[in-house]
Structure 1
């Protein structure tokens, strides 16, 4: 689907079934969402440029993601999407500055695009050309990335309380509680890792955007681009800090699992040591030698039972006195 947007956010849908002979002059942003071959050909004819395919957007070479061709600036960035699901991912989105228009090609629905569309009419002086739309859109993407990191911090704090709080309060955890928390840690790590990859991609794109003539010629746009670059840098550092916290939480969870497992092994070890003397007594009187004076005792059986009980009780209280129980 192809949607064109005016400076005030008014939307116009363009379809190959009823193609326009030329683009309206007030359309400053053309958003291509999962375009098919017919839509690509229509836009190439109207704009006079080549529209990158989905495979082109996936190319990781810098020369294939940031370049100028046919008097148009082609850029590709990786953005986080599905951040509120268990499997967040990255989607490659193409940005093209073709004259005074911005063209975006995407095959996913990052929330930042919906937020930007809803707020286009609120920007001071509206979005007068494609360069301004691009920088404002990148600003919204940076804000949305900051929001994703804030949500990740909140969830990680809640997870930390779940891992350490219940045990500190003396509550008994259900079986396999910590093992389930490890899966949560892995999910948060994936989200933060994808966010860091996205921030790295945006940082490289902004460095390139800053050199684009359309941006350099407009002081306000240039300053906004520089401000976004600083925001991306600070967000990258914050993402690194969050990643460190996740690593600590992972190590702590594994440590707690080892402590619980060691406690179980400790119980079995003490039980085996406590039961060893009674086993020795029972083994002695279980021998089948002909000459064993105790076999003739009238109270031999009760004495043997008493000896086994005493030999078990003494190690038990000794371990308890030592604080091993």
Structure 2
């Protein structure tokens, strides 16, 4: 599917059948979502470029992600998506600057593209300023990434309050409750990790864009790219700080689980210590020897019970003094 965006934000779908009509001069952005072979062929014929395939977008070598072929500039970045509906993951998106237009090739629908398409009518761009459109698109992606980090920070803060807050103090929690918290923490750890990976690719792309002559010659585009690069750097540092907090929370939750399990084992140990002396006394007087004079005393049974109680109470007092209870 191909959508053509003109200066002013007008959106027009492009048919993949028949002979492609020449592009109008005010077409500034060509967005290709899950393009077919016919879609790729049409754009290649119209602009005289070779579009990267889905497999080539996954290459991780810098020479495969950022290069120039004639007057066309090819770039690839990974954008985090699926934040609101499940486990976050990255999708690779191709950005091509050719004949003053921006071409994007994507096989998923990250939210920034929807937001940017809706905001196109507000952009101050003119025909032939595809690089400026790219800068605005990167700015939208970075803004969405900032929102993702803010979401992660808020959720992690809520988990931290649930684990260490006032309501958690002095309350015994079963390990199953803390294990549920661990699952939540791991989800947001994955989100922040994917966000940091995305920011890394965006930083490299923004740096590469600033080296292009068409960007250096346009002050507005150059300034916008500089602002985007600064925002990416700030977000990368913030993402590192959030990741360290998540790691601390993860380690702390594991420590609390160990404490709860140790408390359970301590309870069993205390019970066994308390009942060991009475069981010893009961075992002694349960032996079937003929010469045990206490067995023939009228007060032998209550005396044995009293002795068992006293030894158990003495064990409890001793454990309290040691701080085990």
Using the size of structure 2 for normalisation, the TM-score is: 0.96
Is 1:152 paired with 2:138?
Answer: no
Q: What per-residue deviation string (whole Å, max 9, x for no partner) do you get for residues 36-90 of structure 1?
A: 1111111111111111110010011100000001320000000001112331000
Check the 8 A contact 1:83/1:148 in 2, yes or no. yes
- Of residues 34-43 and 125-134 in structure 1, the stretch that sits farther from structure 2 once superposed is 125-134
Q: CA deviation at 1:173?
A: 3.5
Q: CA deviation at 1:167?
A: 5.1
Call closer, same or farther: CA 1:152–1:19 in 2, change over 3 Å. Answer: farther
* Partner Cα separation in structure 2 for residue 86 and residue 159 of structure 1: 18
Call closer, same or farther: CA 1:75–1:5 in 2, change over 3 Å. Answer: same
Check the 8 A contact 1:86/1:187 in 2, yes or no. no
Q: Where do 1:99-138 residues align within 5 Å? A: 99-124=99-124, 129-138=129-138
Q: Where do 1:3-14 residues align within 5 Å? A: 3-14=3-14
* Partner Cα separation in structure 1 for residue 311 and residue 19 of structure 2: 96
| Residue matched to 1:98 | 98
* Partner Cα separation in structure 1 for residue 294 and residue 37 of structure 2: 99
| Residue matched to 2:29 | 29
| Residue matched to 1:216 | 216
* Partner Cα separation in structure 2 for residue 46 and residue 127 of structure 1: 17
Q: CA deviation at 1:121?
A: 1.3
| Residue matched to 2:164 | 164
Q: What per-residue deviation string (whole Å, max 9, x for no partner) do you get for residues 194-231 of structure 1?
A: 00000000111111100112211101101111111111
| Residue matched to 1:247 | 247
Call closer, same or farther: CA 1:98–1:32 in 2, change over 3 Å. Answer: same
What is the Cα-based RMSD across aligned positions, in Å?
A: 1.6
Q: CA deviation at 1:288?
A: 2.0
Check the 8 A contact 2:100/2:127 in 1, yes or no. no
- Of residues 302-311 and 106-115 in structure 1, the stretch that sits farther from structure 2 once superposed is 302-311
Q: CA deviation at 1:140?
A: 0.6
- Give the secondary-structure state (helix, strand or coil) at the position aligned to 1:176: helix
Q: CA deviation at 1:168?
A: 3.7
* Partner Cα separation in structure 2 for residue 283 and residue 90 of structure 1: 68
* Partner Cα separation in structure 2 for residue 175 and residue 182 of structure 1: 10
- Of residues 171-180 and 72-81 in structure 1, the stretch that sits farther from structure 2 once superposed is 171-180
Q: CA deviation at 1:314?
A: 1.9
Q: Where do 1:77-92 residues align within 5 Å? A: 77-92=77-92
Gaps of 5+ in 1: none
Call closer, same or farther: CA 1:22–1:127 in 2, change over 3 Å. Answer: closer
Q: What per-residue deviation string (whole Å, max 9, x for no partner) do you get for residues 225-262 of structure 1?
A: 11111110010000000000001101110111111111
* Partner Cα separation in structure 2 for residue 174 and residue 19 of structure 1: 68
* Partner Cα separation in structure 2 for residue 23 and residue 75 of structure 1: 22
* Partner Cα separation in structure 2 for residue 127 and residue 177 of structure 1: 58
Q: What per-residue deviation string (whole Å, max 9, x for no partner) do you get for residues 279-314 of structure 1?
A: 110111122222111121122222212211221122
Check the 8 A contact 1:2/1:33 in 2, yes or no. yes
Using the size of structure 1 for normalisation, the TM-score is: 0.96
| Residue matched to 2:178 | 178
* Partner Cα separation in structure 2 for residue 198 and residue 146 of structure 1: 12
* Partner Cα separation in structure 2 for residue 25 and residue 207 of structure 1: 29
* Partner Cα separation in structure 2 for residue 189 and residue 85 of structure 1: 16
- Give the secondary-structure state (helix, strand or coil) at the position aligned to 2:68: strand
- Give the secondary-structure state (helix, strand or coil) at the position aligned to 1:28: strand
Check the 8 A contact 1:159/1:181 in 2, yes or no. yes
Is 1:266 paired with 2:232?
Answer: no
- Give the secondary-structure state (helix, strand or coil) at the position aligned to 1:91: strand
